[in-house]
Amino acid sequence: MKILITGVAGFIGSHCAERLLDLGHSVVGIDNFSDYYSLDLKTKNAKAVEAKGATVLKVDLREENFDENLNTDFDYIFHFAAQPGISLTSTFEDYFSNNVLGTKNLIDFALKCKSLKLFVNIGTSSIYGLEATFPESIAPKPASHYGVTKLTAEQLVLQKSREKQMKACSLRLYSVIGPRERPEKMYTKLIDLGLKGEAFPLFEGSHQHLRSFTYVGDIIDGIVSVIGREEKVDGEVINLGTEAEHTTQEGIEAVEKVIGTSIKIEVKPKRAGDQLRTKANIDKARKLLNYNPQTTLLESVEAQVKWFKENCL
């Protein structure tokens, strides 16, 4: 199958591209290589994907003519590209242009792909709001510009399924961790600062926050399993993550155990929009995708520390 992956130089997109290549598919990846975080890391990710046989193009979905160098013969589209997370440096316009307008432009392109079997939108548990412990049928209550714009993107995609213009689904991911995690994310920052002996900035009260920290390999298992299940997943929203919950404090302790040293903590003021609790309800994923994540938190941290030492020191 010929597959288009957006956000291919990112954390999860690059892992998905490698898995699909390992499964024998042809992959074209696009990314705008924004400077939201280290371009060096994105370049490394892209080179790793290219080394496995993918074609990687610098493309910005916000531009009207973004598809001028793309053919329309794709069988699947996996849409990872987005303005990520909750960041004080990101404006509403950043979230809106990347997550809403970029998705709308990609949908318009997808409708030109006559052999398209499925458009897979990559959503987020942030769509649920401050607590994300629910089945997919619950009404979303996003509490950040990120969550609001990702919900909008999701609905734009699913609208085309409802209109019978293309088959589409949305996968809501939960607290993904592992090798290539972004530099500003919790585990990469914990590992980096812990190895340097520097203080980790912890938002007040967040040590008690509960998360479904899910290993990226388990997430990719779920994502690629939609292939061949187009009829089952068309029009569906599906949670992907682990049912195991851990506090932020337990995450800190796991990193300390792996790197063999305690981590200094610097408490910062609370951050608006932070989720208090995420626990993936994956009954639907089990039913439709035979999904069964197995990697423990400690195994995930061990893999991430190994990657960090090999690639970031």
Give the mean pLDDT of 259-287.
87
Domain at 186-210+244-278+294-311, CATH class: alpha beta
pLDDT value, residue 208: 81
Q: Is residue 223's pLDDT more than 70? A: yes
> Between 64 and 193, where is the model more confident?
193
Q: Judge residue 207's burial from the number of C-beta atoms within 10 Å of its C-beta, 0-12 exposed, 13-18 middle, 19 or more buried.
A: middle
User: Please, are residues 99 and 32 in contact by the beta-carbon 8 Å criterion?
Assistant: no
Instruction: Kindly report the pTM of this predicted structure.
Output: 0.94
pLDDT value, residue 200: 92
What b/e sequence results for 273-291 when a residue is b if at least 16 CB atoms lie within 10 Å of its CB, and e otherwise?
bebbebbbbbebbeebbeb
The predicted-structure confidence for 46-76, as pLDDT tens digits, reads as follows 999 999 999 999 999 999 899 999 999 999 9
pLDDT value, residue 206: 73
* Lowest mean pLDDT, pick from 130-134, 138-142, 169-173: 130-134
pLDDT value, residue 181: 97
Reply yes or no on whether 146 is catalytic: yes
Spot the catalytic one: 37, 95, 128, 146: 146
Where do we find the tokens 């689904």? 169
Give the mean pLDDT of 34-44.
91
At residue 138, the 3 state secondary structure works out as coil
CATH 3.40.50.720 fits 2-173+216-242+284-289, yes or no: yes
* Lowest mean pLDDT, pick from 84-88, 207-211, 287-291: 84-88
Cβ contacts of 37-41, under 8 Å, gap ≥ 24: 37/182, 37/183, 37/184, 38/183, 41/180, 41/182, 41/183, 41/312
The predicted-structure confidence for 109-134, as pLDDT tens digits, reads as follows 999 999 999 999 999 999 999 988 99
Question: What is the domain partition of the chain in residue ranges?
Answer: 2-173+216-242+284-289, 186-210+244-278+294-311
Per the DSSP assignment, residues forming a β-bridge with 44 are none
Question: Mean of the per-residue pLDDT values for the chain?
Answer: 95
